[in-house]
Amino acid sequence: MLIAKFADHLPLYRQEKIFERAGFAIARSTLAQWVGVCGVQLMPLVAALKVELFTQPVLHADETPVAMLKPGSGKTHRAYLWGYTSTTFAPLPAVIYDFTESRAGVHARDFLGDWRGTLVTDDYSGYKALYAEGVTEAGCMAHARRKFHELFASGKSLIAEEALRHFGALYAVETELAALDTQQRLRAWYVVGGTKGCNMPVSARATARARSRPLQRSPAVTGSARGFGPRGISMTTALVRISA
């Protein structure tokens, strides 16, 4: 029932009809009660997953609107489902969703509590208070690229086209380095970060040098992306400054 509702997007009123066709008269109110009971039973698992999530030095966060029915009115209002996830390279891939009735930044602060790591977001202002309290900000490169793509699609901007070329070069490097271990990715990232203007291809050279080059920090790795390698932030989500 839970899989049908949350993974297959079958609301309870449809499941009620499905059960009815199979010869089982199960009221929608009963199904709703079962959902609530299952949610309570799963809370210890959620709590354990949250403890594990907060051991990670880097998390991703995003929020998406969902329609919430107002009881008795027959109308809906906009609520939000916040997602918090570990990185691609975390030992335990984990995602926790937090439902709230608004998009206020206090919800993110309440959820993360005393956690103080690097948070990858889309620059929504609701997260800014967290950065003032000690959380390290890392912007999402995919969101940054989207603005350049929109500019290029609407007006064939040459500047936007050049920016998209740089983004593509970083994506190509990331693809080649994905199979390396943490230290090799770190070394390769410093090689790429020290390449002026990101004039690729450097990924093959970076991969080869990553396996043998002593660990050094490149001055081009700046701002919110510093510490990228050991923390495991993906190039597709960590916004970095490309040295000119």
CB 117 within 8 A of CB 56: yes
CB 56 within 8 A of CB 86: yes
Taking all residues of the chain, what is their mean pLDDT, rounded to a whole number?
Answer: 79
The Cβ-side half-sphere exposure at 107, using a 13 Å CA radius, reads: 19
What is the value of pTM for the model shown? Answer: 0.71
Question: Kindly report the CA angle at 95 between 91 and 101, in degrees rounded to 5?
Answer: 160
Q: Would you say how long the chain is, in residues?
A: 244
Of 202 and 61, the one with more pLDDT: 61
d(CA 90, CA 231): 9
Question: Kindly report the CA angle at 225 between 197 and 228, in degrees rounded to 5?
Answer: 105
- pLDDT of 226 over the 80 cut: no
User: Region 177-200: what's the mean pLDDT?
Assistant: 67
- pLDDT of 84 over the 70 cut: yes
User: Where are the chain's structural domains?
Assistant: 2-53, 58-115, 141-231
User: Region 93-105: what's the mean pLDDT?
Assistant: 93
What digits encode the pLDDT tens for the residues 129-168?
A: 999 999 999 988 888 898 899 989 988 889 889 999 988 8
Q: Please give the DSSP secondary-structure letter assigned to residue 70.
A: P
At a CB cut-off of 8 Å and minimum separation 6, what does 50 contact?
A: 96
pLDDT for 194 equals 54
